[in-house]
Structure 1
């Protein structure tokens, strides 16, 4: 500069000329304004998509509202919808079907997913290629997967029946996976396990590769067997990852809808009618909006409470 002053000196002089209280206030307002500029749209979107429908659903659950008769109005009936839901045998049957589906899919996906992660972690030849192949099912749309497996389950031309026939010797046309009362639940369990086991595998693989090698080296120095290393090192350190994967998948499976609709539509009869399908039928086929709202609130409280208990258990495992 012409007078020999540096930029830092000029900035310092300008700062001294500005009253401290005014400068701090201007800077504070500017920072907060920028922060709210980025945060406010997200908050408004969350309120519009999540909070408002939830509050409205709770309100409707205390009424006899029917969406196809909105012009006639509705009246508040207190807890009558909740009483009807909790005493409805069909609802309890639906919850039993959902629990059966949830337990078996979680058990199979954890067992197979962890086993696949264990094998891939060995980094055998072409393990990257096989990892990509295994991950392909979870990249597909549930509607596409449902239609794909519907053809595989066809009694006359379905490839699945011929594979089963090859190992068991049973006539492939003698059983129908999605039309049999005994086999239809297992048909859905098989498809969901095929589709989402790679998700469990991926999280378990991340957990396995996060274990430092020196821990295993120290165990080998102490002459610990492979089985002992698995129970004392591998499983405890991967357990938080595995529990987190189970939490995510359990919540998703509890509200499973599109895959089951594509495969069985809840049939035959109501043997594969999950809670989400029953809720949709009550709300949009029978138009019992108030009743279905009460059912939705009960499901939300159940899942929210179970998830909170599970997260507390997960935190205890992490602290060990």
Structure 2
């Protein structure tokens, strides 16, 4: 017997719909909400990754889409791993990564330790310190390019003042020096992202219960001993988390360095992300750059996995 309009209306009333929904298990309802998001993430993330892996085994060039594509196997990977120029960019990236993390952790923890102690103007100082990380990297890059400018840059006048005029401001340049350009980008990234590390360390310091320090005072433990035996171990997971976040971000650093040096002078500050962009969108070696991207992805993913395991062990202590 065919369904009448009255039957369809009765089947779709709010009460009948609610009854059918109540008939579903909590797991089924959860999957009904989560499935569209999972499918979207797979479409956005997994498909491009699989496509990149496929291209990495070919000689495909995006500017010549109609040319026949040749399967080259592992040739792209072999060329990357044996190219001294690419290893030089890896070295430049490692230099940038190590020193930015070192300075940001040391200075960020020091600032957090200072701000954690209540004093007049504490809130104002915290706001001023956090301001740099709220700016766009493009704005920060242009701002520091002006500061580093050889003739009128304030940074160079500060150098002249500190050296008593022995180094002329007009002749001192950070961004144009092979020796100083890598340190110039380290200074800028440290200035911009140290507040991020400071906030994470500050959260760690304020999570330590006061009674721990009170018990240490009763046992007559010195401030130095309290710092190394209580404060550092309890804040260490937060410090390691900050290093993880900043390490991943700095490994793929691009915009700030492009604004400051463009990878120069020469290839002194040519990081892997900039070299990857040149291979993909200037030389149009799409298959080669895809293999390069896969190697970087595996490197970051592998190091991050090892680091997360170490972080979990520290948290379990």
Q: Same fold (TM over 0.5)?
A: yes
Match of residue 84, structure 2, among 59, 83, 89: 89
- 1:110-164, Cα deviation, whole Å (9 max, x unpaired): 0100000000000111101110110000000101100110001001110111122
Match of residue 300, structure 1, among 297, 301, 305: 297
Query: Which residue in 2 is equivalent to 1:19?
Result: none
Post-superposition shift, 1:168? 1.9
| 2:57 is aligned with 1:62 | yes
| Runs of 4+, deviation exceeding 2 Å | 23-38
Match of residue 119, structure 2, among 109, 118, 124: 124
Post-superposition shift, 1:30? 6.9
Match of residue 175, structure 1, among 172, 175, 179: 172
- 1:233-281, Cα deviation, whole Å (9 max, x unpaired): 1000000000000000000000000000000000111100000000000
TM alignment of 1:137-156, pairs within 5 A: 137-156=132-151
Query: Which residue in 2 is equivalent to 1:233?
Result: 230
TM alignment of 1:178-257, pairs within 5 A: 178-257=175-254
Give the Cα separation in 1 of the matches to 2:23 and 2:88: 58
Post-superposition shift, 1:29? 3.1
Match of residue 275, structure 1, among 267, 272, 276: 272
Give the Cα separation in 2 of the matches to 1:183 and 1:207: 35
- 1:29-88, Cα deviation, whole Å (9 max, x unpaired): 375564344323322221122111111110100001100011113121110100000000
Post-superposition shift, 1:28? 4.7
Query: Which residue in 2 is equivalent to 1:12?
Result: none
Query: Which residue in 2 is equivalent to 1:77?
Result: 72
Post-superposition shift, 1:94? 0.4
Higher helix share: 1
Give the Cα separation in 1 of the matches to 2:312 and 2:188: 32
Give the Cα separation in 2 of the matches to 1:312 and 1:30: 35
Give the Cα separation in 1 of the matches to 2:144 and 2:44: 33
SS of residue matched to 2:240: helix
Give the Cα separation in 2 of the matches to 1:235 and 1:24: 56
| 2:35 is aligned with 1:40 | yes
Give the Cα separation in 2 of the matches to 1:126 and 1:295: 49
Question: For structure 1, which segment, 284-293 or 26-35, has the greater mean C-alpha deviation from structure 2 after superposition?
Answer: 26-35
Name structure 2 gaps, 5 residues minimum.
1-17
Q: TM-score, normalised by structure 1?
A: 0.90
**Taking structure 1 as reference, are residues 167 and 49 closer, same or farther at Cα in structure 2, changes over 3 Å only?**
same
Taking only aligned residues, the RMSD between alpha carbons, in angstroms, comes to 1.7
Post-superposition shift, 1:178? 0.7
- 1:281-315, Cα deviation, whole Å (9 max, x unpaired): 00000011101111110110011000010011101
Aligned residues: 299
| 2:279 is aligned with 1:314 | no
Give the Cα separation in 1 of the matches to 2:35 and 2:137: 33
Give the Cα separation in 2 of the matches to 1:189 and 1:204: 21
Post-superposition shift, 1:24? 10
